[in-house]
A and B are shown apart, each in its own frame.
Chain A
Amino acid sequence: AQSVTQPDIHITVSEGASLELRCNYSYGATPYLFWYVQSPGQGLQLLLKYFSGDTLVQGIKGFEAEFKRSQSSFNLRKPSVHWSDAAEYFCAVGAGYSTLTFGKGTMLLVSP
């Protein structure tokens, strides 16, 4: 069965610093991979997705993620974090017909 591991429950980053959130997946076939963000009081918003092709994927809000098959990873990056990026981030793998398997999430705190 597929699974997603986000090893960091909380991460604190200074505003303006770079960010990398880790995600490892386990899936028998070629994965469909996603990053979602949830800000307080909001729904889950799709940041970016990988289906095939270029392994470096650009998303909204200046985020990018790189698919590394050899490491079963799909880490999320941003070169310069803004205070508004403080939120909870979820990595997910697409499995089956159209359902998603999520990781436990990483809470990002941004310090001034």
Chain B
Amino acid sequence: EAGVTQFPSHSVIEKGQTVTLRCDPISGHDNLYWYRRVMGKEIKFLLHFVKESKQDESGMPNNRFLAERTGGTYSTLKVQPAELEDSGVYFCASSQASWGYGYTFGSGTRLTVV
């Protein structure tokens, strides 16, 4: 079974530009999560999709971040315009059940805003 795939693995962009991160969950997993780790800090929850619907987006930092999951398959996380403080590693995870924290994490996208 293929795991959770994220790309790109690394992205370096200038402040003010737009970046789109993509996550392909494990096939059949209705639940998809985004987390972020800013350097030196904790990994923090951003949002949770159930199929194509946003179940919980309480962790989204501001309206420069837009997450979508069209058709309930892959998800994108767009940052527009990017700021320096957006630098970090963005993790995606998926699970079959909505309860029980049975996540499988991807290897993350390292975003650097310069």
A74 at the interface (CB under 8 A from B): no
B94 CB to closest chain A CB, in angstroms?
Answer: 11
Interface string of B76-97 (1 = CB under 8 A from A): 0000000000000001010100
Please tell me if B64 contacts chain A, counting CB pairs below 8 Å.
no
Partner of B56, one of A90, A99, A100: A99
Surface stretch bound by B, among A12-20, A42-50, A60-68:
A42-50
Judged by a CB distance under 8 angstroms, whether A53 is at the interface is no
Q: How far is the CA of A6 from the CA of B83 in the complex (A)?
A: 29
Is the CB–CB distance between B55 and A101 below 8 Å?
no
In the assembled complex, the Cα of A49 lies from the Cα of B103 at a distance in Å of: 12
Q: Is B66's CB within 8 Å of the partner chain A?
A: no
Does A30 have its Cβ within 8 Å of any Cβ on chain B?
Answer: no
Residues of B within 8 A of A42 (CB): 107
- CB B100 to nearest CB in A, in angstroms, measures 7
Count contacts on A: residues with CB < 8 A to the other chain: 24
Interface residues of B in 28-86 (CB under 8 A from A): 31, 33, 35, 40-45, 48, 55-56, 59
- A32's partner among B59, B101, B107 (CB-CB below 8 A) is B101
Hey, which chain A residues are within 8 Å of B105, CB to CB?
36, 43-45
A35 interface contact, C-beta 8 A: no
Residue contact B43 to A97, C-beta cutoff 8 Å? no
User: Would you call B41 and A104 a contact (CB within 8 A)?
Assistant: yes
Q: Are A98 and B41 in contact (CB under 8 A)?
A: no
Q: Mark B93-114, 1 if CB is under 8 A from A, else 0.
A: 1010011110111111000000
Question: Given A41-B107, A104-B42, are A97 and B99 neighbors across the interface (CB < 8 Å)?
Answer: yes
- 1/0 per residue, CB under 8 A from B, across A61-101: the answer is 00000000000000000000000000000101010111111
For A99, what are the chain B residues with a Cβ–Cβ distance below 8 Å?
33, 45, 48, 56, 59
Known contacts A41-B107, A43-B91, A103-B42: A98-B3 contact under CB 8 Å: no
